[in-house]
Amino acid sequence: MSEIEEIVQGVLAGDRRSIAKAITVIENNPEKARRIIASIYPHTGKAHVIGVTGPGGSGKSTLIEKIIREYRRRGKTVGVVAVDPTSPFTGGAFLGDRIRMQELSVDEGVFIRSMATRNYLGGIARATKDAVKVLDASGRDVVIVETVGAGQSEVEIIKVAQTIVVVFAPGLGDEIQAIKAGVMEIGDIFVVNKADRENVDKSVMDIRAMLQLSNKEQAWTPPVLKTIALTGDGVAKLIEKIEEHRRFLEREAGREKAREKAETELVEAIKEKVASLMIEELEKEGEFESYLQKILRREIDPMSAAEKILKKKLGGC
């Protein structure tokens, strides 16, 4: 059996070492990653994927620890991908999300993986989506993705998760500032954490008011909940809402959402494939370089160059 086949068999059998290795391959080796995903894909789609996002310091990691415990109490197995930023200057990363979840690392029903963004934008890493597929294929009932501290534009998580929980905390600055766009529009459930602090009701009201401004017709009205992640207060209620949203997806919007997700993935895959094929082709004959030189000399702009290339390669259109 090849190394890849062995890893795939291990993942499907739920073997923890194989899951860990598969994710490493996905992060480092696109060609092998494709082979792994191709083999496990038919076994995915069973886990409920929850995205947890929100500004840094709102308590995402601590809350996730409590969410995991609650799911474990209900007999569910859980996988976690926790994303932290890569330093754009050194390429290194400090991954500290596990600090809050450490006791869970010896629970056989829990698998936690830290992941650096490696400068991918949008609040997750390029490999996050496929790491989620690995955990899904390994038989986890629930997969949780923790994004980097996010606010206004880190919304890539919608391509990965079915239920998105946006976590805020009172006192992180002007709420309106923090929530003017971005995460405000992607949340299925909103949580004001650290609800033992002052001004929590004001935060809840602010968020409700923001949500009401949206004129989108919605079959699902995002609830706004209060939690105290440190003590676990409100977490059982949060799980109820997550489960309610899961059932809602199964009933109504689920198929449409799955379709949208599949469509985005297919479009992106085609873009990537076609682009790399085309570039490879151009490089063979040194054309890439000659277009590049023309662009540098300002003789042609990049978009016109791309059009010309396409016409030539695909024959007029």
The closest of 158, 165, 179, 154 to 229, measured between CA atoms, is 165
Nearer to other proteins, 276 or 293 (CB): 276
**Which segment (103-111, 206-214, 252-260, 283-291) binds other proteins by CB under 8 A?**
103-111
Question: Under the criterion CB under 8 A, does residue 91 sit at the interface with other proteins?
Answer: yes
Angle between the 128-137 and 3-12 helix axes, to the nearest 10 degrees?
60
CA distance linking residue 46 with residue 76, whole number of Å: 13
Task: Tell me: does residue 24 bind other proteins (CB under 8 A).
Answer: yes
Residue 93 sits in the site that holds other proteins (CB under 8 A): yes
What's the CA gap between 53 and 150, in Å, rounded? 6
- Shortest reach from residue 192's CB to other proteins, in Å: 26
Cα 157 to Cα 180: distance, rounded to the nearest angstrom: 18
Q: Which residue has the tokens 């063979």?
A: 284
Question: Phi and psi at residue 235, in whole multiples of 5°?
Answer: -75, -40
* CB atoms inside a 10 Å sphere around CB 32: 16
Assess contact for 115 and 27: CB atoms under 8 A: yes
Q: Is 190 a residue that touches other proteins (CB under 8 A)?
A: no
To other proteins, the closest distance from the beta carbon of 280 in angstroms equals 16
Q: Does 111 bind other proteins (CB under 8 A)?
A: yes
Count the site residues for other proteins by CB under 8 A. Answer: 35
273 binds other proteins (CB under 8 A): no
CB 124 → other proteins: shortest distance, Å? 14
Instruction: Name the minimum Å distance from CB 70 to other proteins.
Output: 21
Residue whose pair of structure tokens reads 């082709």 in the numeric block? 281
Is the Cβ–Cβ distance between 235 and 227 less than 8 Å? Answer: yes
Q: Is 4 in the site for other proteins (CB under 8 A)?
A: no
Q: Enumerate residues 45-84 that contact other proteins by CB under 8 A.
A: none
**Between residue 119 and residue 158, which ones bind other proteins under the rule CB under 8 A?**
119-120, 126
DSSP structural state of residue 229: T
Residues in touch with other proteins (CB under 8 A): 16-17, 19-21, 23-24, 27-30, 86-87, 90-96, 98-99, 102-103, 105-106, 111-114, 116, 118-120, 126
